[in-house]
Chains A and B, each alone.
Chain A
Amino acid sequence: MIVPYGNVLLLAIILFLLGAVCSISRRNLLMILIGVEIMLNAAGLAFVAASLKWRLLDGQAFVLFILAVAASEVAIGLALIVYSQRRTGSVNADHYDSMKG
């Protein structure tokens, strides 16, 4: 026996909330994207633990798709950050106020 199943879920929820707090409270666009990466990683950890608990490989297959989504999301997101930094000269989310929102 490794650990009870709930402990792994608790670790996953701690990681997910750390990523969510990072995404909410930071103003730098790169840090917001890093928070999203942490959240995706925590979801993958929960899937692997569930895959081990029920002895089914479906959870591991889903982690593979999470990896593909994370890779393409970070490529598009970083390209968007570079694009908007080239247009506005800033990576601070508070400086994107040209619509006076």
Chain B
Amino acid sequence: MTLYSVIFYVLAAIVVLSTLLAIIQRQVIHAVVYLIASFFATGLLFYLLGAPFLAALEVIIYAGAIMVLFLFIVMTVKAESGEDKGEIYQWLPAVVLGVISFFVGGVLIFEIPGSKTGLSTGMATASAFGQFLFKNYWFPVEIASFLLLIGLVGALYLGRRELRKGSEDRR
């Protein structure tokens, strides 16, 4: 039991616990705040597993951008009361299916060869990662940037104000 494995288990406990707390919250805003803690811990896990650049991106994009976007939308969308009462017929099938998949997946993971081999520490610096990315994956990077552009245009189109006839002169 090295120091690294202690850090891993502590971070894993934080991630699982905060995600579990997030998905059982009644209010969406509490779920978002729990998920920010979960994504911070996941970023630290990325750092532990040798991806410091991705750890920074996880904190900036997931915890910083996506969750803040969720917070804005939660504040914009009108809250409704009297829903998600936690009926058992909503949760029971999902939990049963999840537990079955967990056991099947766990057995599968520990049966495949190589799952017992320990991960030794390593670190890919940001410059090495960037050079690898633009040497081998320059075309997918272009596609990803195009996807982000399409996402921007689509969000602008969907989020525009409805212009009905006769509503212009009232404004």
Instruction: List A residues at the B interface (Cβ < 8 Å).
Output: 1-11, 13-15, 17-22, 24-28, 30-31, 33-35, 37-38, 41, 44-45, 48-49, 51-53, 55, 57-58, 60-61, 63-65, 67-76, 78-83, 85-86, 89-92, 94
Contacts and interface: CB of A to CB of B under 8 A. Distances in A.
B119 A92 contact: no
Given A2-B8, A6-B116, A52-B50, A72 B150 contact: yes
B147 A72 contact: yes
State the majority secondary structure of interface residues on A: helix
Contact of B133 (A48, A61, A86): A61
B148 A78 contact: no
B23 A21 contact: yes
A34 B162 contact: no
Interface of B: 2, 4-5, 8-9, 12, 15-16, 19-20, 22-23, 28, 31-32, 35, 38-39, 42, 45-46, 48-51, 53-54, 57-58, 61-62, 65-66, 69-70, 73-74, 76-78, 80, 83-84, 90-91, 93-95, 97-98, 101-102, 105-106, 109-110, 114-122, 124, 128-129, 132-133, 136-137, 140, 144-145, 147-148, 150-152, 154-155, 158-159, 162
Contact of A10 (B84, B93, B106, B136): B106
A48 B46 contact: yes
A71 B116 contact: no
A35 B28 CA distance: 12
A72 B151 contact: yes
Given A55-B122, A60-B51, A74 B66 contact: yes
A1 B120 contact: yes
B159 A68 contact: no
Contacts of A83: 158-159
State the majority secondary structure of interface residues on B: helix
Contacts of B152: 72, 75
Nearest to B48: A2
B94 A13 contact: no
Nearest to A59: B51
Contacts of B94: 20-21, 24-25
B73 A13 contact: no
A71 B51 contact: no
Contacts of B110: 6
